[in-house]
Amino acid sequence: MPRTIAAGIGLMEYPFRTTAGFWRWVDLCEQGGIDSIWQNDRLVSRTPALECMTALAAIAGRTRRIKFGVNVVAVAMRDPLLLAKQCATIDFLSEGRMLPGFGIGSPRGLEWEAMHLDPATRGRKTDEALEIIARLWKGEHLTYTGKHFQLTNASISPLPAQVNLPMWIGGNSAAAVRRTAKYGTGWQAGSDTPETVGQVIAAIQTAVAAAGRSIDDDHYGAAFAFRFGSASDPGVAKAIERFQTRTGRDASVHFAFGDAGAIVDRIARYVESGASKFVLRPAADGDEDMYAQTKRLAEEVLPRMAERWPRLSKQPG
């Protein structure tokens, strides 16, 4: 089937000075044709960061069109029953606009030490949690005995508005590939290069076929930070420093600077690697800077994307 290329917008941190500035930005995304809004998952941080699930609930109440998700929830840090209930509630009240994304969490996260959690178990805990979440979303009265989680006759209601609520999986390791092939309805990259994204998509497609499942070609995503301007612009150094501290990666490889053409060209490299859905994160600081960067994305990049990759059919939910 034809792929639908769509761009959402994400927050790396919380760059706003005021709550009014944040809501003005959300309104711009809603009205400007942005496909979706994405939160990062940070429970412990030295800089401002919204709690992702409550932020999405608030955004759901503010908007009527735009979709929203987390890129990605660190499942091993959370209770799976509560997480399943939160996702179902937000999807139910937003009439089917939730896009849940799940991963194991970065080993560099401050949460492991702060919460006395063992990062070595995060993969196995995530696998158990994803099975629990998927079965609860289907309406099961679930009794489950795992190494990390136990439930007795657990269920949730109301169920998600989307009958098959998407389960996007993050990560680029061999374990993430296996996890996506077993549980995922889509895969969302973090700050990976187009080359890495292409390699992971190919590996997932092979693993999915071997598992006797299928994932739509339309359901592979990529993400990168962008800036209309240059790396030397005021406020950008702070975004670069935070990115490199959090990920240990070179921002010059993972950020896109320049004009609309440069940003669309970066998107095109990912499209050639098999990605269709994008989380674009403004490298900006402060209310006005975030608003200006996002406005240019809506007014300059989205029309070029629509012209280059016209939508041939309605985008899947």
Give the percent of the chain with pLDDT over 90: 85
pLDDT exceeds cutoff 80 at 57: yes
22 class by beta-carbon count within 10 Å (0-12 exposed, 13-18 middle, 19+ buried):
buried
Picking from 98, 234, 112, 86, the residue whose alpha carbon sits closest to that of residue 165 is 98
Rounded CA gap, 71 and 58, in Å? Answer: 17
- Domains, the chain, ranges and CATH? 6-204+214-308 (3.20.20.30)
Judged by phi (left if over 0) then psi (alpha if -120 to 50, else beta), residue 167 lies in: beta
Rounded CA gap, 310 and 207, in Å? Answer: 30
| Phi, psi dihedrals of residue 68, rounded to the nearest 5° | -160, 155
One-letter amino acid identity for 208?
A: V
Rounded CA gap, 83 and 75, in Å? Answer: 8
User: Which pLDDT score is estimated for 311?
Assistant: 83
Question: pLDDT band for position 312 (50/70/90)?
Answer: low
The pLDDT of 99-104, averaged and rounded, is 97
Rounded CA gap, 167 and 185, in Å? Answer: 5
The pLDDT of 121-141, averaged and rounded, is 97
The predicted model scores a pTM of 0.92
Looking at every residue in the chain, the average pLDDT score rounds to 93
DSSP letter at 119? G
User: Which pLDDT score is estimated for 253?
Assistant: 73
45 class by beta-carbon count within 10 Å (0-12 exposed, 13-18 middle, 19+ buried):
middle
